Chain A
Amino acid sequence: DADVTQTPRNRITKTGKRIMLECSQTKGHDRMYWYRQDPGLGLRLIYYSFDVKDINKGEISDGYSVSRQAQAKFSLSLESAIPNQTALYFCATSGSGGPYNEQFFGPGTRLTVL
Chain B
Amino acid sequence: DAKTTQPNSMESNEEEPVHLPCNHSTISGTDYIHWYRQLPSQGPEYVIHGLTSNVNNRMASLAIAEDRKSSTLILHRATLRDAAVYYCILRDNDKIIFGKGTRLHILP
Q: Enumerate chain A interface residues (CB-CB to B < 8 A).
A: 4, 31, 33, 35, 40-45, 48, 50, 58-59, 90, 92, 94, 97-108
Partner of A103, one of B41, B46, B101: B46
Task: Please tell me which stretch of B14-22, B63-71, B91-99 contacts chain A, meaning at least 4 of its Cβ atoms lie within 8 angstroms of it.
Answer: B91-99
Across-interface contacts of B41 in A (CB, < 8 A):
108
Known: A100-B49, A105-B45. A42 touches B95 (CB 8 A): no
A33 to B45, CA, bound (A): 14
**B47-60 Cβ-contact flags toward A at 8 Å (1 or 0):** 00101000000000
B94 touches A50 (CB 8 A): yes
Partner of B32, one of A4, A94, A99: A99
Q: 9 pairs across A/B with beta carbons < 8 Å?
A: A43-B96, A59-B97, A99-B31, A99-B92, A102-B46, A102-B49, A103-B96, A108-B41, A108-B43
Q: Enumerate chain B interface residues (CB-CB to A < 8 A).
A: 30-32, 34, 41-46, 49, 51, 87, 91-101
A24 CB to nearest B CB, Å: 14
A42 to B44, CA, bound (A): 10
A45 touches B46 (CB 8 A): no
B44 touches A105 (CB 8 A): yes
Across-interface contacts of B34 in A (CB, < 8 A):
102
A97 touches B43 (CB 8 A): no
A100 to B31, CA, bound (A): 9
Among B32, B34, B43, B92: residue with most chain A CB under 10 A: B43
A62 to B46, CA, bound (A): 28
Chain A: which residue is nearest B44 at the CB level?
A: A105
B96 touches A45 (CB 8 A): yes
A99 touches B100 (CB 8 A): no
B42 touches A108 (CB 8 A): yes
A58 touches B95 (CB 8 A): yes
Across-interface contacts of B92 in A (CB, < 8 A):
99
Chain B: which residue is nearest A94 at the CB level?
A: B94
A43 touches B94 (CB 8 A): no
